[in-house]
């Protein structure tokens, strides 16, 4: 699962220029791009932006069976019990910003 998370974060990093372009170059926050922004609400905004990007197809997310998620619900179901640990890691990362 850690490899999947790293792959998703890498995909998010590569998708940021495309997301910024799609939103007329508006920076993080207003456009809900999936890049964490330091400050209050970092984790929630990052997660919401990632969910939106997965649902929009901006971030391709490969599921454990090799197929790609069509919506965020499939991602959460695939992550299963690891979801809480992944969210804790993301919160910890936000705390370092």
Whole-angstrom distance, CA of residue 89 vs CA of residue 74: 20
Confidence class of residue 92 from pLDDT cuts 50, 70 and 90?
very high
The token pair at 97 is 């910003």
Which residue shows structure tokens 């964490």?
36
Whole-angstrom distance, CA of residue 41 vs CA of residue 23: 21
Whole-angstrom distance, CA of residue 89 vs CA of residue 95: 10
- Taking only the tens place, the pLDDT of each residue in 39-85 is 888 988 888 888 888 888 888 888 889 999 899 899 889 888 788 88
Question: Quick one: pLDDT at residue 79?
Answer: 84
Question: Quick one: pLDDT at residue 65?
Answer: 92
């Amino acid at each position: 699962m850690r490899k999947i998370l790293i792959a998703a974060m890498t995909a998010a990093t590569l998708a940021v220029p495309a997301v910024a372009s799609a939103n007329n170059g508006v920076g993080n926050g207003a456009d809900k791009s999936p890049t964490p922004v330091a400050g209050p609400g970092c984790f929630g905004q990052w997660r919401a932006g990632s969910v939106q990007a997965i649902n929009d197809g901006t971030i391709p997310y490969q599921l454990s069976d090799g197929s790609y998620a069509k919506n965020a619900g499939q991602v959460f179901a695939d992550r299963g019990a690891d979801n809480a640990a992944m969210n804790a890691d993301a919160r910890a990362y936000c705390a370092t910003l």
